[in-house]
Amino acid sequence: MSGGAVQVGEWAKIVGVEHSPPETQRHRAELVGCLALVTGAAPGDSFAYVRLSEAVLDGRAGTPRRRWLVAWEDLTYEAEPVKLVPLELGYQLGAQGSGRGRVSHAVEYGSREGAERAVAVCGSGVKPLFIDDWPLPFSADDQYACAACVAVYRRG
Ligand SMILES: [Zn+2]
């Protein structure tokens, strides 16, 4: 297999469908360029089971279909995408300070990109963090997480 770098449990980009089964090739337009999690190796070493990061419509069935069989050769390794937390779940990450003095706070979603200041759930003034348009999620496992924010987060 060419790419060779992708393994089960890793994220990959579908860069083509030329080596994939005919069923997959018929959906070239929707699939090429998609990110997918490699969930298993099909018998015979040629194909991988993948789960798309976004539902891709199966034109014939008319229902979102996420699982596909793709040739290893049609996949290239991609770093795991930033986990996007649905807006109704969890909190956005807000930072205070930097480096070792950094503290991570939880901010209610709704802060817009470019917003310089927001108020964390513990009452601290923080800077909401984004990657492009996406707010970074607050994680209670963050070693710099604010204890008061973690307590609010855990209460749900
Ligand atoms: Zn806090």
For ligand 1, the distance from its centroid to the CA atom of residue 122, given in whole angstroms, is 4
Mean pLDDT score of the chain: 81
For ligand 1, the distance from its centroid to the CA atom of residue 131, given in whole angstroms, is 21
Mean pLDDT of 1-22: 82
Instruction: Locate 107 and state its tokens.
Output: 């901010």
Which tens digit of pLDDT belongs to each residue from 93-148?
999 987 778 899 998 876 555 567 888 999 999 988 877 667 788 888 888 999 99
Strand (E) or helix (H) holding 76? strand 75-78
Instruction: Locate 134 and state its tokens.
Output: 């996406």
For ligand 1, the distance from its centroid to the CA atom of residue 31, given in whole angstroms, is 41
For ligand 1, the distance from its centroid to the CA atom of residue 112, given in whole angstroms, is 19
- Domain positions in the chain: 11-78, 92-155
- The larger pLDDT score, comparing residue 90 to residue 92, is at 92
Q: The pTM is what?
A: 0.50
Taking alpha carbons only, the member of 88, 83, 23, 33 closest to residue 58 is: 23
Alpha helices in the chain (DSSP H): 22-25, 28-31, 147-155
For ligand 1, the distance from its centroid to the CA atom of residue 114, given in whole angstroms, is 20
For ligand 1, the distance from its centroid to the CA atom of residue 133, given in whole angstroms, is 23
Taking alpha carbons only, the member of 56, 50, 54 closest to residue 68 is: 50
For ligand 1, the distance from its centroid to the CA atom of residue 97, given in whole angstroms, is 12
CA 46/CA 23 separation, integer angstroms? 15
For ligand 1, the distance from its centroid to the CA atom of residue 47, given in whole angstroms, is 47
SS3 64: strand
